[in-house]
Amino acid sequence: MATGGSDVSTRHTSMSLLSKTKRVSTENKSIYDIALSVFKIHKVEISDAINTTFPFFEYLRDHGFITNEIYKESLQSSKWHGVQEVIYDVLTELEKTFDLSLLRALFSKVIMKKYRDLSNIYKIFKTGPWSRPLGTSSNAKIFTPCLELQGMS
C-alpha cells in the first residue's frame, strides 16, 4: 500500500513538473517573440547607430553570427553603399536566425563602447516586459541577465 501511495505522489510530482516546464517553455517563447518584434521594430535605429564596420562585423564573425563569406561581402558592399544600409541588410539576415544571444552580442561591452548611440535602444530591451519575473513562482529575471553589461546597469 505504501508503495502505491508513493507511486501516486511521484506521478503527481512528475505531472506538476511537466506542467511547469511547459508553462516556462511557453513563457520563454513569448519572451523570444517579443524580443524579436522589438528587434525588428528598432532595426533601422540599430543600423543608424552603427556608423562604421569595425568592430561590428568582426564581432559578429568572430562569435559565429555571420560567416566569413558574409563578412567579406558586407565589407565590399559597404564601399559602394552607406555603412548603415549594409548593417541593416546584415541585421535583416540575422533576423532569420534570431536568438537572444544576438542581443547579448549587439549590446556587448565592446560594441556599446564603440557605438554609444545604441545605449537608448539597449534601455528599451533592458526595461521591456521580459525583464520582469515570469509566473508566480519565479523570482528570476529571464531576459535582463542575458543583456546585463559590466558597468551598464
d(CA 24, CA 138): 10
pLDDT at 7: 56
Compare 134 and 115 and report the one with higher pLDDT.
Answer: 115
The share of the chain scoring above pLDDT 70, in percent, equals 64
pLDDT at 34: 87
Q: Determine if the pTM surpasses 0.75.
A: no
pLDDT tens string 48-104? 999 999 999 999 999 999 999 999 999 999 999 999 999 999 999 999 999 989 999
pLDDT at 126: 83
The share of the chain scoring above pLDDT 90, in percent, equals 56
Compare 14 and 103 and report the one with higher pLDDT.
Answer: 103
Confidence at 130, pLDDT banded by 50, 70, 90: low
pLDDT at 26: 57
SS (H, E, C) 82-138: CHHHHHHHHHHHHHHCCCHHHHHHHCCHHHHHHCCCHHHHHHHHHCCHHHCCCCCCC
